[in-house]
Amino acid sequence: MPTVPRLDPQRFRHILLRSVAMPAMLLTLLAGLLFWEVRQLLQADEAADRSDAVLAEATRVRQLLIDRETGLRGYLLTHDPAFLAPYHAAARHLPEALARLESLIAGSPDQLARMHDLRVRWADWETFADEELRRFRTGGDWLTLVVEAEGKRRMDGLRELLDALNAAERERAAHRGATAERQAQLVLWGGAAWLLLTGALLAWTGRRQLVLMSRDYESLLEQAQTQAQALRASEARLEARVAQRTQELTAANHELESFSYSVSHDLRAPLRAVDGFSQALMEDEGERISQEGQEHLRRLRAAATRMAQLIDDLLRLSRLTRAELRCEPVDLSALAREVADILQRSEPGRQVTFDIAPGLMTRGDARLLRVVLENLFGNAWKFTSQRSDARIALFAESRDGRPHYCVRDNGVGFDMAYADKLFSPFQRLHRPDEFPGTGVGLATVQRIIRRHGGDISAEAVPGGGATFRFTLEEART
């Protein structure tokens, strides 16, 4: 066979090194730069989110402080206990809100300093508020404290601290946003410049390699044309050889059909003569023939009958193996019920329970699949003949995502040590005087199943029945 033309391996490696290594290195550096810049942008985005959280939490703290102040003032001026509800609610939520705010600004020393001052002033306001309530409840001079607005001044100081904290956080967020914008512009312009440089290098390298490789193109093309001509000549010889083999196979098939006809026609006549003359001899000369002679004649007739059955089974096996498959939807359950009805009509005196699962649909040749069920059900019928509670079942199991069809009986079974002989022609695991048969039925079943792209296996226990499992796929011609 002609070899395929190709570049020199060493030269090709050099081309790859020059064409791929440098652009790959430049792209790797660009990817590293982009990764670093994107990481910086993500960090800036996280910082912006944290600033938003600080501002939101500071606003919550401010509102809780206002609720506490207005609740106390409303209660003192109106003597209405309803004003104490926001006062006490704010007292419950303020420690948690202050703790969250402090955790959010943990990385900012200046903000932490403001937070420390805020806690000190808040404690001072709480002391003042407690004093107001004490005087109010004991009948002291609480009104002077309200009129002098000492509590308001303390609360204004708290609000000023919160305003300073918010202003610092907004300034920090603006600075981070400007930094992130500059970094984004750097990524865009730097990436564009790097891509232009990489594209220019790729264009220059590619052009150079094309110039170098074009020198070898004509030589490679000439070699390819020569090899294509040789391949066409080889294909012509192969087609001629295939046609010759096809013709030989057709002739062999015709010879096999002629041989099958010869076996069917030429061997049956002598067998019928042996059987007929043996019967005539028994009928005409039976009184003069000894008991031993009559037994010999019966055996002779039985052997002739068995020989005729063997011929029928062999011809049937040959026809089924060579028959054209017709792939169509097949209802195995319906076929099984028909076969079961025929078996029951053949021996109406037997009590056999058939358990046929409904709705077993598949694809294949209905005629050949009927032969499969006739043989498997026939075997089950035969090997359960000695049981009064005979049962024969057809069902499906799912294994590896595909259905396995099963025919099970509770007959005599067999020893699994001899299971490899089951599907070979003329191999039997029981004596002819126990159960009749030629040993061709299971071989026929196996060939039909394999022609359908499936497989068949058997499991049995002596005295405990047998199970035959087979798979089916779309028929193969």
Q: Record the pTM.
A: 0.42
Say if residue 209 is in the same domain as residue 86.
yes
Of 181, 152, 130, the C-alpha closest to 65 is 152
User: Domain range holding 272?
Assistant: 267-322
Contact in structure between 95 and 69 (CB atoms under 8 Å): no
pLDDT in tens, the chain (477 residues): 445 455 556 665 666 666 666 666 766 776 776 677 667 667 666 767 777 888 888 888 888 888 888 887 788 778 888 888 888 888 888 888 888 888 888 878 888 888 888 888 888 888 888 888 888 888 777 777 766 667 778 887 888 888 888 888 888 888 877 777 777 777 778 777 777 777 777 677 767 766 666 666 677 777 777 887 888 888 888 888 887 886 776 665 566 556 665 665 566 667 666 767 677 777 777 677 777 876 777 777 766 665 665 566 566 656 655 667 788 899 999 999 999 999 899 888 888 899 999 999 999 888 889 889 988 998 898 888 888 889 999 999 988 888 999 999 998 887 777 667 777 665 555 555 454 555 567 888 888 888 888 988 888 888 888 999 999 875 443
Distance, in Å, from the CA atom of 195 to the CA atom of 207, rounded to the nearest integer, reads 18
Does the residue 192 lie in any domain? Answer: yes
Report the alpha-carbon angle 441-446-450, nearest 5: 150
Does the residue 68 lie in any domain? Answer: yes
How many domains would you assign to the chain?
A: 3
Residue with tokens 């050889």: 241
Q: How far is CA 94 from the centre of its chain?
A: 55
Does the residue 223 lie in any domain? Answer: no
| CATH at residue 381 | 3.30.565.10
Say if residue 186 is in the same domain as residue 284.
no
Residue with tokens 């705010």: 101
Strand partners, 331: 361
Of 303, 306, 307, 301, the C-alpha closest to 282 is 301
Element (H, E) at 465: none
Report residue 97 as tokens: 């809100």
Say if residue 179 is in the same domain as residue 52.
yes
| CATH at residue 17 | 1.20.120.1730
Say if residue 192 is in the same domain as residue 43.
yes
Say if residue 384 is in the same domain as residue 355.
yes
